[in-house]
């Protein structure tokens, strides 16, 4: 059976960095969730306007299509997606058996600092608070691991690799 890793968390946690490092170690197909957002979503976020559920569902469907297509072929995947709400994660789980979540977490101060340092990303630091308010952490019945991002990307990747089946 294939495995589908969703690297999740609020903005600034390093989802892309961790996911790319996992892809290098595992050789699995990688999809950057930010690249799957409809243009209207990117424009909204770039303007500092938080997304609503209606904005997120087409994006989640696009991510689900990626994992589902690879699952049919027995191929494992790594995707990035904030997956802030349980309902979003439920949809991603439905798309492909073997879906696991890597929930990256960090203090609001650390995340704000990281966001201030990054260049060329459409997501402004002003949206961090709305994402933290929306976040529904992984629940006990959800297959996944919580990884603190205060350390290095490599340390986070090692934790994930120890967790994966």
Q: For 56-66, what is each residue's pLDDT tens digit? A: 899 999 999 99
* Class in CATH terms, 4-163: alpha beta
pLDDT of residue 11: 83
The pTM for the full model equals 0.90
User: Mean of the pLDDT values across residues 30-43?
Assistant: 90
Q: What's the whole-number average pLDDT of the chain?
A: 90
Mean pLDDT on 65-89: 97
Pick the closest to residue 77 from 67, 87, 91 (CA basis). Answer: 67
Residue among 15, 7, 57 nearest 36 (CA): 57
Is the pLDDT assigned to residue 122 strictly greater than 60? no
Reading the block at residue 54, the tokens are 């209606």
**Per-residue pLDDT, 126:** 64
Taken in order 86, 88, 92, 94, the sign of the CA dihedral is positive
What are the boundaries of each domain within the chain? Answer: 4-163
Q: Compute the average pLDDT of residues 17-23.
A: 97
Q: How confident is the model at residue 102 (pLDDT cuts 50, 70, 90)?
A: very high
At 123 the pLDDT is: 53
Cβ atoms 110, 32 nearer than 8 A: no
| Low-confidence winner among 40-44, 90-94, 104-108 (lowest mean pLDDT) | 40-44
Question: What pLDDT shows up at residue 124?
Answer: 55
């Amino acid at each position: 059976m294939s495995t589908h890793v969703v690297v999740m968390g609020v903005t600034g946690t390093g989802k892309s960095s961790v996911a790319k490092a996992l892809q290098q170690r595992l050789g699995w197909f990688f999809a950057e969730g930010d690249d799957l957002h409809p243009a209207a979503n990117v424009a909204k976020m770039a303007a500092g306007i938080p997304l609503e559920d209606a904005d997120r569902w087409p994006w989640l469907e696009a991510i689900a299509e990626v994992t589902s297509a690879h699952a049919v072929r027995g191929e494992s995947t790594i995707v990035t997606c904030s997956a802030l709400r349980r309902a979003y994660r439920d949809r991603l789980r439905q798309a492909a058996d073997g879906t696991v979540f890597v929930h990256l977490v960090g203090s609001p101060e650390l995340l704000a600092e990281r966001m201030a340092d990054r260049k060329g990303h459409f997501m402004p630091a002003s949206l961090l608070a709305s994402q933290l308010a929306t976040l529904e952490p992984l629940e006990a019945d959800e297959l996944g691991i919580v990884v603190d991002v205060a350390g290095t990307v490599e340390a986070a990747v090692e934790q994930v690799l120890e967790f994966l089946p």
